[in-house]
Structure 1
Amino acid sequence: MPASEYEKMAAGEWYCCLDDELDGLRQQARRAVHAHNTLPPDERGAVAPALRALFAGAAPDIFIEAPFHCSYGINITLGKRVYFNAGCAILDSGRVAVGDRTMFGPGVQIYCAEHHKDAALRSAGIEIARPVAIGSDVWIGGGAIILGGVMIGDRAIVGACAVVTKDVPTGATVVGNPARQINAV
């Protein structure tokens, strides 16, 4: 049974985000994100070395425009030729896996944390991390929000500003808030 708050978070159990170990991991991510966002493009390249080193896994040909934000980074795995446009944020308390050739428009946000519904527990920092899995050849339109626990199938399209609250089938196109499918797969 997991003992530390980090172990609880990684196991998908309720944990307290107000924890020194988790704060240290978030601080490490802030430093890497800061390096990525402030390095001149010629020095940064496709992704700053500190940010690339933070990720659980990243193909050599990913490209992340600045500014970018992630909470931990250590829970993010990116496939070949993944592209993030400017202003994307991944709150990766849970695992976030992105398949090959997937593209994110500007301002896309992925939220893995779900805060407790009980106000007293929520104010005490109790939350649970839900993973996000995004397949290959997916296009996520600008301003879209993807909530924790969602799986998006290969070749799917998420329209701009859609709020994805449930799984998206392979090849589907979803739009709106909450996102709804508009094509037959």
Structure 2
Amino acid sequence: MVGTSPINVKANRASRKWTPKQLLGRLIWELVRTPVFAWSPRPLWFWRRTILRIFGAKIGPGVRIFSSVKIAIPWNLTIGEYAAVGDGAILYSLGTIEIGPSTTISQYAHLCAGSHDHQRSDFPLAKLPIKIGAEAWVCADAFIGPGVSVGNRAIVGARAVAMRDINNSAIMVGNPATQIGTRDTKGRRTKK
């Protein structure tokens, strides 16, 4: 019945999830993001790296981030050298997101480092970290859930949903993500 749920929405809305300094930083980022970051021409990789660094992100050399990438909180973001984040990807960095060197996050992938604790009636915000290892590939439209670590050289296939940690070199597909093989040291697939 409506109105008899044990969920305490009022308590959730009244809780303090961010400090005043964090709220101000998020406001300034949102005011700057569209005209300065999102509207920058595609080849201006250095420009977007610089903007993110100004906002506290740790961005390695040679990183390529497309202008259409949506980043919630840049100071919670670390990206290793020569990594790439493709068109329309979402880096929902309420918790920290760490992307290893030479890793690819393909177009429209979603790294979601925030959720709510469904076991409590007030559904408090949970800011859970995500870590993507070196030389990994999160393919198009894949979803990486809060608190998940993806191992070095692992592949999360297109539209896969990873809600649990993924081992080094694992090749994962589907929803939920299931291992179908591993990558050998030369990047070739071996059957599971």
Give the TM-score band, short-chain normalised: 0.7 to 0.9
Q: TM-score, normalised by structure 2?
A: 0.78
Aligned to 2:122: 121
**1:95 shift after superposition:** 1.2
Report the residue type matching 2:144 in the other structure: I
> How many residues were matched structurally?
167
Alignment of 1:142-157 (within 5 A): 142-157=140-155
Overall identity of the aligned pairs, in % = 25
Q: Is 1:62 matched with 2:63?
A: yes
Separation in 2 of the partners of 1:16 and 1:183? 44
Aligned to 2:108: 107
Aligned to 1:98: 99
Any conservation in 1 of the 2:40–2:67 contact (CA below 8 Å)?
A: no
Q: TM-score, normalised by structure 1?
A: 0.81
**1:132 shift after superposition:** 0.6
Residue deviations 1:8-48 (CA, integer Å, cap 9, x gap):
xxxxxxx7336543322222332343221112335x33442
Local SS of the residue matching 1:87: coil
Separation in 2 of the partners of 1:32 and 1:169? 37
Separation in 2 of the partners of 1:46 and 1:63? 8
Separation in 2 of the partners of 1:145 and 1:47? 27
Any conservation in 1 of the 2:114–2:126 contact (CA below 8 Å)?
A: yes
Any conservation in 2 of the 1:33–1:51 contact (CA below 8 Å)?
A: no
Query: Does 1 or 2 have the higher relative contact order (CA < 8 Å, sep 6+)?
Result: 1
Any conservation in 1 of the 2:142–2:159 contact (CA below 8 Å)?
A: yes
Aligned to 2:11: none
What 5-or-longer segments of structure 1 have no aligned partner? 1-14
Decide which structure has the larger Cα Rg and report it: 2
Q: Is 1:141 matched with 2:139?
A: yes
List structure 1 segments (4+ residues) > 4 angstroms apart after TM superposition: none
